[in-house]
Structure 1
Amino acid sequence: MTTERIERQAPRAARLDDPDRRRAHRRRLRRTDLLAILCWTSVAAAIALLLASGGVRDLSSPGAMVTALGIVAGLVGTDLILIMLVLAARIPFIDRTVGQDVAMALHRRLGKPALYLLLGHGVLLIVGYAITDGSSVIAETVSLMSGGDLLLALLGTVLLVLVVVTSVVAVRRRFPYEAWHAIHLLSYVAVLVAVPHQLSTGQVLAEGGFERGYWIALYVLAFGSIAWFRFLVPLVRTLRHRIRVVAVEPIAPGVSSIHLRGRDLRRLGAHGGQYAIWRFWSAGTWWHAHPISFSAVPSDEGARITVRELGAGTGRLARLQPGTPVSIEGPYGIFTSFARTAPRLAIITAGIGITPARALLEHSDVAPGEATVLLRGTDHSQAYLWDEMETLAHRNGSRLYTMLGRRPNGIDTWMSAESISRGVTIESVFPQLLESDLYVCGPSVWTDLVVRDARAAGLPEQQIHVERFDW
C-alpha cells in the first residue's frame, strides 16, 4: 500500500476553534479532578466505615492502640492495591481523561505506599497482639501463622514484594519485558489469595453491614474492570475486525512497517497519535504483546504500524509472514489533536517516536502556518518516515525542520552540537511556542530534556503532551 493511498483514505479530525478547545480542556480537567476525588474518597470511606462499624472501639490500652493502627494500615493498603488494579484496567474513561501513561505512572507510585502499609499492617497486628497477650513477638507470630488463611495472606504479601521490587526502574531494566510482565501478573494472584484471610479474620470483610458491601463492590469493580477491559473487550474486537498481516516493508536497518488488513477498522475509533497492544499469532511471537503506535490512521480495511528492533521480541516482527492473525487491545492514549488547548501546533520527534507524530499530523486539520514540526536524528539512518512527514507538511502548509547530529559531550541537551554552536533554542525553532500545544515523542531521557526546555520557556503544563516508549 503506497503512502499516497493511505493519506487519501485517512479520516481527519474535525477542526476545533479556540472556544471548543477551551471547553474540551475544561471537561478533561473536571474529569481529572473527579478521578482524584474518587481515589481519595475511597480511602476515606474505608476508614470511615471501619470507625462507624466500631472496628476500633477499644483504645484503652497500648496493645489495643497498636492493633487499631495495624487494622487501619491494612484497610488503606488494600484500598490502594484495588485502586492500582482499576488504574491498570485500561478503562476508556481513565484513558480519555489522563492517558494510559499517566494512569500507569500513578499505578507505579502507589505500589510502594501500598506495600509499606500492608507490611505495617502485619507487623503492627503482631506487636499489638503480643502486647495484649503478654507474649513475645516470635511466639505471637508462630501462633498467628498456624492458621491457613494467614499463611495465604503472607503468601500474598510476598508476591506483592516481588512485584514492587521488580517494578523499580533500576531493577526493571535488567529484566526482559516478557519476564517482567509475567512477574507483574502475580499482583492479581497476590490480591486474590488474601481474600480468605479478610473474609474470616480480617476487619475488612469479616463483618456484615455497609463496610462489607463497600469492599465487595470495590473488589468487583477492580477485577470486573480487568476482566472486561483487558480480556473481554479485546477478544470481541479481535474477532470482529479479523486483522491479518498483509506485508512487512523494511524502511531502514532494523526498522519495518507492518501493513495490516481487517474488517471495518474505522470502528476502532483510532485517532492519529494513538497506540494499541498488538499480539501476532505466529510460532515465535504469539506469547509477547507489543505496545506500538499507528504510523498511519486506519482506513476501513487497512492500517499500518512501524516498528524498530529493540530486542529479540520486536526483531521477530520483521519476519512475520502475510496472513498472520493479529489480536488488538486498544486504541489507547491522548497524544492526539483532541487534547489540544492552544491555537497552534508544535511537534518535536526523534527516532521511532516519529510514528505517532506522523499519524497525529495526518489526522490534524490545521490551517497553513498553524503547525511547526521538528524532526530530530543522530544521522540520516534515523530519518524514518521523514519523506512522509515532508509530504504531509507540504500538503497542509506546515513548517518542517530537521536537526541531524550527535549531542555535545558534557551538556544535557536534546539538540545537536552544531545547533548549540549556532545558538539554536526551542524558542527560535518555535517562535510562537507559548501559543502552541507541544507534542514530544522520542527516547525517554531525550524527551525529558525537551520538556525541561519547554517549561523553562514558560509553556504551561497543559500544553505539553508526551508519548513515552519505556515500560
Structure 2
Amino acid sequence: MTAVPQPRVLTFRRSVRVARAAIVAFIVFNVVAVQLMFVAAGPGKNPPGTIGRLLGLYLALAMALQLLLVARLPVVDRAFGMDRLTVWHRWTGLAIFWLALAHPAFVVLGFARLDGIPILAETANLARQLPVLLGMIAAGLLMVIVALSVRAARRRLSYEAWHAIHLLLYVVVLLGVLHQVYEGTAFRVNPVTQVYWWGLWAFALGALIAGRLVVPMVRNSRHRLRVAAVVEESDDTVSVHITGRELEKLPARAGQFFLWRFPGHNRWWQVNPFSLSATPNGRSLRLTAKGVGATSAGLRDLPIGSRVYAEGPYGAFTAAHRTRGATVLIAGGIGVTPIRALLEDPDLTGHVVVLYRVREVRDAVLLGEMQNLADVRQARLHLLTGRTGGGHRPFAPEQLVALVPDITARDVYVCGPDAMTAAVLDSLRRLRVPPRQIHAERFHLAT
C-alpha cells in the first residue's frame, strides 16, 4: 500500500507536523525560562527554602500547562488528539500533586531551620499568614481530587460525580494564583521576568476562558441546537438526532465527539462525551449512547424540541490523520459509534475492513447500518462474538493477521472498552504496525 495521495490530507499532515514542533518548542522555552528566572533570583542562604522555591516555580508552570491542556485548544487537539492529551493531563496532574507536596514541605523545613523550631510549629506559624494559608488550602483540595481520581476510587464514582469533583480544580487554580501574587519572588527579579510570568498565566487563563466558555457560547448561540428525534436502538441504547441553524459551518468531522449538556434534563455541571454516530451532513448531528450513567440512561426521555448545549468538536480520530491507502476499523461495544461514522465518511477512501467485537449478536448496536454501509463501499465486515478467555482471543496477533493479512500496511482505528483497546494495541505493537498508523480513542477526559 502507498501513502494517501490526496492533497488535502497531505496538507493537513504537514500542518500537524508544524503544530507539534511549535508546541514542543513552547514547552521547552518555558522550562528553560523558569530555570533562568530561578538562577537570576539567586541561590539564597537557606538550601531547603531554595529548593522549595524552585519546586514552587515548576509547580506553577505545571499548573499553567495543565490549564492549556484543559482549554482544549483546537491546534493542540488536531496535532495530538484528545486521547493522547488526556494521558498527558493525567501525568501532569500527578506531577502537580507531587510538586504540591514537595514545595511546601521544603519551604516549611527551611523556615523551621531558620527559626529553630519544630516543623509542626512552623507550619502553624505560616498558616496564620493568609497567602500561605491559601496555598495550603489549594494543596489540600488537590490531594482530595487526586485521591478520588485513582483507579480504585474512580470505579466507584459515576462520570457525572467525577466530573463535578474535578470542577474543584478551578478553585485550586484561583487559590494558586492568589498565592503567587503575594508570595512569588523569583518572577519579581526584574520587569522582564514579571512580564514573562504574568504573560504566561494571562495566556493560559485566556485560552481556558476562550476555549471552554466563549467559543462554546458563541457556537451554541449561532447554531441553536435542538433535539429533533430520539430513536431506541436497543433496550439500553438510544440515538439522539439534533438539528440547528447553519450546521454546515460547524467544523465537525466523522470520528469526533462533543461534550453534551441537556439543560432542563440534567444539572448544568453534568456533561458527557458522546461521539457522533453518523457523518455530519450539514443538516443534523446524531449521537448514540448506552445507558450506563445518569445522563446517558435518561436520554430516551428527552423531549423533542428541547435545547442542547454542545462543546466541541474534539478529537483527532478522523480520516485526516490517515497515512496509508487502506484502513482497518476496530470497534467494541458502544465504541462502534465513531467507527460507524468513519465507515460512512467519504474522506475515508480506499479499501476498508471492519472488525466489530460484541459478546452476543444482540449486543451489536447499529449492526444493520454497518452492514449496509459496508455493502455500499464494498468493505469487509467481521462480527466477532463470544466470551474472551481460554483459547478464544479474537484480537491476538495471529487472529488479526488471519482476518486482515495486510494489517501492517493499513491505518488502524480502534475504539472500545479499555481492556479490548489495550489488547488490540498490544497485538499491533507485536505485529510491528508503525505507531503513526495506529489511531485509538478512549474517553477518560479531563474536566
TM-score by length of 2: 0.93
- Choose from 5, 9, 16 the match for 1:28: 16
Q: 1:384-407 CA deviation, whole Å, 9 max, x = no partner?
A: 111111211221222222222221
The verdict on how the C-alpha distance between 1:41 and 1:147 changes in structure 2, with shifts beyond 3 A counting, is same
Residue 18 of structure 1: how far off its partner (Å) = 6.7
Residue 295 of structure 1: how far off its partner (Å) = 0.8
Residue 21 of structure 1: how far off its partner (Å) = 4.9
- Choose from 288, 307, 319 the match for 2:289: 307
- Choose from 30, 33, 50 the match for 1:45: 33
Equivalent position SS for 1:318: helix
Q: 1:30-86 CA deviation, whole Å, 9 max, x = no partner?
A: 43243233223212211211222xx23434xxxx12211110010011111110111
Residue 286 of structure 1: how far off its partner (Å) = 4.9
Which residue of structure 1 lines up, in the alignment, with residue 387 of structure 2?
406
Cα separation, 2, equivalents of 1:355 and 1:206: 52
The verdict on how the C-alpha distance between 1:145 and 1:373 changes in structure 2, with shifts beyond 3 A counting, is same
Cα separation, 2, equivalents of 1:430 and 1:109: 35
Which residue of structure 1 lines up, in the alignment, with residue 355 of structure 2?
374
The residue identity in structure 1 corresponding to 2:44 is D
Residue 188 of structure 1: how far off its partner (Å) = 1.5
Which residue of structure 2 lines up, in the alignment, with residue 466 of structure 1?
440
The residue identity in structure 1 corresponding to 2:343 is L
The verdict on how the C-alpha distance between 1:185 and 1:227 changes in structure 2, with shifts beyond 3 A counting, is same
Instruction: Tell me, yes or no, if the aligned pair for 2:163 and 2:270 is still in contact at 8 Å.
Output: no
Which residue of structure 2 lines up, in the alignment, with residue 453 of structure 1?
427
Equivalent position SS for 2:276: strand
Give 1:316-465 correspondences, 5 Å limit: 316-366=298-348, 370-409=351-390, 413-415=393-395, 425-465=399-439
Cα separation, 2, equivalents of 1:284 and 1:138: 45
Residue 205 of structure 1: how far off its partner (Å) = 4.8
Cα separation, 2, equivalents of 1:397 and 1:366: 13
Cα separation, 1, equivalents of 2:177 and 2:187: 8
Cα separation, 1, equivalents of 2:391 and 2:58: 45
Give 1:127-276 correspondences, 5 Å limit: 127-206=109-188, 208-276=190-258
The verdict on how the C-alpha distance between 1:39 and 1:307 changes in structure 2, with shifts beyond 3 A counting, is same
The verdict on how the C-alpha distance between 1:300 and 1:19 changes in structure 2, with shifts beyond 3 A counting, is closer
Cα separation, 1, equivalents of 2:413 and 2:318: 9
Question: Is residue 56 from structure 1 mapped to residue 15 from structure 2 by the alignment?
Answer: no
The verdict on how the C-alpha distance between 1:414 and 1:34 changes in structure 2, with shifts beyond 3 A counting, is farther
Cα separation, 2, equivalents of 1:38 and 1:470: 25
Cα separation, 2, equivalents of 1:403 and 1:349: 10
Instruction: Tell me, yes or no, if the aligned pair for 2:265 and 2:302 is still in contact at 8 Å.
Output: no
The residue identity in structure 2 corresponding to 1:288 is Q
Mean alpha-carbon deviation: is it higher for 429-438 or for 30-39? 30-39
Aligned-pair RMSD on alpha carbons? 2.2
Q: 1:425-463 CA deviation, whole Å, 9 max, x = no partner?
A: 101111111110000111111111011111111101111
Cα separation, 2, equivalents of 1:18 and 1:266: 22
The verdict on how the C-alpha distance between 1:170 and 1:243 changes in structure 2, with shifts beyond 3 A counting, is same
Cα separation, 2, equivalents of 1:402 and 1:132: 70
Question: Is residue 111 from structure 1 mapped to residue 93 from structure 2 by the alignment?
Answer: yes
Mean alpha-carbon deviation: is it higher for 398-407 or for 452-461? 398-407
Residue 312 of structure 1: how far off its partner (Å) = 2.5
Cα separation, 1, equivalents of 2:389 and 2:116: 67
Residue 139 of structure 1: how far off its partner (Å) = 3.3
Which residue of structure 2 lines up, in the alignment, with residue 8 of structure 1?
none
The residue identity in structure 2 corresponding to 1:234 is P
Cα separation, 2, equivalents of 1:42 and 1:239: 36
Q: 1:414-433 CA deviation, whole Å, 9 max, x = no partner?
A: 55xxxx8xx96101111111
Instruction: Tell me, yes or no, if the aligned pair for 1:442 and 1:469 is still in contact at 8 Å.
Output: no
Cα separation, 2, equivalents of 1:102 and 1:385: 27
5+ residue gaps in structure 2? Answer: none
Mean alpha-carbon deviation: is it higher for 384-393 or for 445-454? 384-393
Residue 166 of structure 1: how far off its partner (Å) = 1.9
Q: Percent identity?
A: 35
Cα separation, 1, equivalents of 2:165 and 2:72: 19
The residue identity in structure 2 corresponding to 1:145 is A
Equivalent position SS for 2:301: coil
Residue 159 of structure 1: how far off its partner (Å) = 1.2
Cα separation, 1, equivalents of 2:348 and 2:91: 37
Residue 300 of structure 1: how far off its partner (Å) = 2.6
The verdict on how the C-alpha distance between 1:451 and 1:211 changes in structure 2, with shifts beyond 3 A counting, is same
The residue identity in structure 1 corresponding to 2:413 is Y
Cα separation, 1, equivalents of 2:244 and 2:130: 51
Cα separation, 2, equivalents of 1:365 and 1:205: 49
TM-score by length of 1: 0.89
Q: 1:327-362 CA deviation, whole Å, 9 max, x = no partner?
A: 111111111100001121111111111110111111
5+ residue gaps in structure 1? Answer: 1-14
Instruction: Tell me, yes or no, if the aligned pair for 2:164 and 2:270 is still in contact at 8 Å.
Output: no
Question: Is residue 17 from structure 1 mapped to residue 5 from structure 2 by the alignment?
Answer: yes
Instruction: Tell me, yes or no, if the aligned pair for 2:4 and 2:324 is still in contact at 8 Å.
Output: no
